């Protein structure tokens, strides 16, 4: 691979990755059991955890994160996405194929933004059920086996349906609020940087924020916004915690001046 053109330029080039995207936490009993279930059905598929600490019940915020972060992965990747406050209710279980990527999870809006932005889109409602289905852990019992089988190339165990019936197309193109606070205290929003101008000024928490390229472009302690490494508007402080400096967290609204 060390050609004159250098290393392979894309950072994710291998197909058939399974990516988990959950609010399970990385420490407790849920993620490990779901990954053991994936392994049981598809032992050779690599699995990576994209987010494990999404905000519980915040399906909306998760939907905008998933749309932004999934595009970093190549066609053929499969996202096992579980933010599922309605588990055990009548909400559907769905599979979505969007621009060659697969998404498996609850039909509660989690894939609405994926659907909106897709050039090619197919949807299925899962009609398979495992013999033993718990009332509260469909990630392990239902979604993982289905995801594993799809990753192996099997047909979707369900009925294809019209995307307009499967996904709600009325959600806004961008979400004007904070959707995640990362370990550095940076405030990741549901707004794509490409949706605003290069010199856009944002307001958040009563402050006006200018765009900068990255942390080291401002003095320590300065608050700014920048396009993060997955294309979203992120509010940050160089060598500080924006969440603490601004006193804000998930849900805080932002606006473009």
In whole angstroms, the minimum distance from the beta carbon of 27 to a copy of itself comes to 4
What character string, x for contact with a copy of itself (CB under 8 A) and - otherwise, covers 98-127? Answer: ------------------------------
Q: Which of residues 42-61 bind a copy of itself (CB under 8 A)?
A: 43, 46, 48-53, 56-57
DSSP alpha helix (H) spans, 26-130: 29-41, 59-70, 112-117
In whole angstroms, the minimum distance from the beta carbon of 65 to a copy of itself comes to 8
In whole angstroms, the minimum distance from the beta carbon of 133 to a copy of itself comes to 9
The C-alpha atoms of residue 202 and residue 172 are separated, in whole angstroms, by 18
Beta bridge partners of 187: 181, 235
- Contact yes or no for 55/21 (Cβ under 8 A): no
In whole angstroms, the minimum distance from the beta carbon of 192 to a copy of itself comes to 14
The pair of three-digit structure tokens given for residue 45, joined into one six-digit string: 């598929």
Q: Which of residues 132-161 bind a copy of itself (CB under 8 A)?
A: 132, 134-137, 140-141, 144-146, 149, 154-155, 157
Distances in Å between the alpha carbon of 1 and those of 5, 8, 64?
Answer: 9, 7, 35
Q: What is the b/e burial string over 78-94, where b = at least 16 CB atoms within 10 angstroms of the residue's CB?
A: bbbbbbbeebeeeebbb
76 belongs to the binding site for a copy of itself (CB under 8 A) = no
Q: In the set 76, 99, 128, 165, which binds a copy of itself (CB under 8 A)? A: 128
Q: Which of residues 198-257 bind a copy of itself (CB under 8 A)?
A: 213-217, 226-230, 238-239
**φ and ψ at residue 32, rounded to 5 degrees:** -65, -40
From 4-12, 93-101, 158-166, 170-178, give the range in contact with a copy of itself by CB under 8 A: 4-12
The C-alpha atoms of residue 52 and residue 183 are separated, in whole angstroms, by 13
87 belongs to the binding site for a copy of itself (CB under 8 A) = yes
Distances in Å between the alpha carbon of 200 and those of 62, 206, 208, 226, 233?
Answer: 25, 16, 10, 10, 11
What character string, x for contact with a copy of itself (CB under 8 A) and - otherwise, covers 159-198? Answer: ---------------------x-xxx--------------
């Amino acid at each position: 691979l060390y050609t004159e053109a250098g290393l392979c330029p894309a950072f994710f080039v291998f197909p058939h990755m399974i990516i988990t995207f959950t609010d399970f936490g990385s420490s407790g009993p849920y993620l490990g059991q779901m990954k053991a279930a994936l392994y049981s059905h598809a032992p050779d598929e690599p699995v990576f955890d994209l987010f494990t600490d999404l905000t519980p019940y915040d399906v909306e915020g998760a939907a905008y994160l998933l749309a932004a972060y999934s595009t970093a992965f190549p066609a053929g990747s499969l996202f096992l996405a579980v933010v599922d406050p309605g588990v055990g209710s009548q909400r559907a279980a769905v599979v979505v194929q969007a621009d060659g990527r697969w998404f498996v999870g609850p039909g509660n809006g989690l894939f609405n933004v994926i659907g909106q932005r897709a050039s090619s889109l197919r949807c299925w409602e899962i009609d398979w059920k495992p013999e033993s289905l718990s009332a509260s852990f469909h990630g392990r019992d239902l979604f993982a086996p289905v995801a594993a089988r799809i990753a192996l190339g099997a047909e979707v165990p369900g009925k294809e349906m019209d995307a307009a019936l499967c996904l709600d197309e009325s959600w806004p193109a961008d979400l004007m609020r904070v959707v995640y606070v990362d370990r550095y205290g940076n405030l990741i929003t549901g707004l794509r940087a490409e949706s605003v101008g290069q010199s856009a000024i944002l307001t958040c928490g009563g402050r006006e924020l200018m765009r900068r390229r990255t942390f080291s472009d401002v003095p320590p302690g300065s608050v700014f916004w920048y396009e993060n490494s997955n294309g979203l508007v992120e509010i940050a402080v160089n060598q500080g915690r924006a969440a603490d400096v601004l006193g804000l967290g998930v849900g805080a609204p932002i606006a473009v001046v």
